[in-house]
Every structure is written in structure tokens, then in C-alpha cells.
Amino acid sequence: MTVNEVPLSDVWQLRQEVMYPHDSIDVVKLDNDQAGIHLGLYEEGQLITVISLFLSEQKLQFRKFATRKNFQGNGFGTFLLQYVIEWAKANHYKIVWCNARVSAVDFYKQFDLKPFGETWEKNGIEYIKMQMELNHHGNNTCY
């Protein structure tokens, strides 16, 4: 497995395939995609998982985290998210957060992200903010 930056065209294609298969590719494009860092996990040259990082002050938000359906449940997303958390620690970010689909809350709890605030609905999908504070000493806490 290798983690590399991914061209936006490849990111959009995988996002659309996994997250919004019945919508056009324009639905998966974010207004600020050009400002993000887009990482992908590759296995034997094939792009398996993508995640987009948006940095502000000491906070790292990850968005549009998607793993090809036929590879889900095999640890690829876990590997990439752990990579992102370690990268955030090494670069002295204090908060890692996302707007999580409620259906993915248990997955994110494995990484010590905790639900924060109230849920909301967008396009028929329920979300909640999840975040963790990085203390750079090996333990992660949320405030």
C-alpha cells in the first residue's frame, strides 16, 4: 500500500462512484477543492481510497472520504485515516474533524473522534460533526 497525492479528476471519479453513483460528477466537486490536499491509497497501482484535507489555522478537516465498494471492510480506509491523523500530529495540528455521515459514526469512534453538536440532514443524509484534539503525546482527547 502506498499513499500519494491524487489528481482532482481521479478524486472526483472515485467520490462519484462510491458516494453518489446515481448523480453527475459535478455533485461531488467542492467549491474549495483547488485549495485542498487530496490523498489516495493505492494497492498494486490501483486507487482504492481517497480523502481530501482542508487546513485552517491549527485545524485539519477531512472530507469526501471514500473507498471503492469492493474493497470496503479490508482496512484500506482505516490505514489512510490513521495516516492522516499521524500526519496531522507530525505537522502540529490541534484538531482533526469531519462532518460524518451518522451511518459512519462507529467507524470514526475507532480513531477517538467524538460526536460534537447536533445532527443535521443534507440531501437525505444525516450528518454529525466529529472531532478529536491531538495532544502530540500519543493520547487523543476531545474537548
Please give the domain boundaries of the chain with CATH numbers for all domains.
2-141 (3.40.630.30)
Q: In this structure, are strands 140-141 and 46-56 parallel, antiparallel, or unpaired?
A: unpaired
Length of the chain: 143
Single-letter residue type at 63: R
Give me the pLDDT at residue 60, please. Answer: 96
Q: Using CA atoms, how far apart are residues 12 and 132, in angstroms rounded to an integer?
A: 27
- Report the candidate in 135, 94, 92, 131 with the shortest Cα–Cα distance to residue 109: 131
H and E: helices and strands count for the chain: 3, 8
Q: Using CA atoms, how far apart are residues 143 and 133, in angstroms rounded to an integer?
A: 7
Give me the pLDDT at residue 75, please. Answer: 94
Contact partners, residue 107, CB within 8 Å, separation at least 6: 77
Grid cell of 91 as nine digits: 505537522
Give me the pLDDT at residue 125, please. Answer: 87
Q: Could you report the average pLDDT of every consecutive run of 10 residues in the chain (143 residues)?
A: 95 93 90 95 95 95 94 94 95 95 93 93 91 71 42
Reported pTM:
0.88
Give me the pLDDT at residue 136, please. Answer: 58
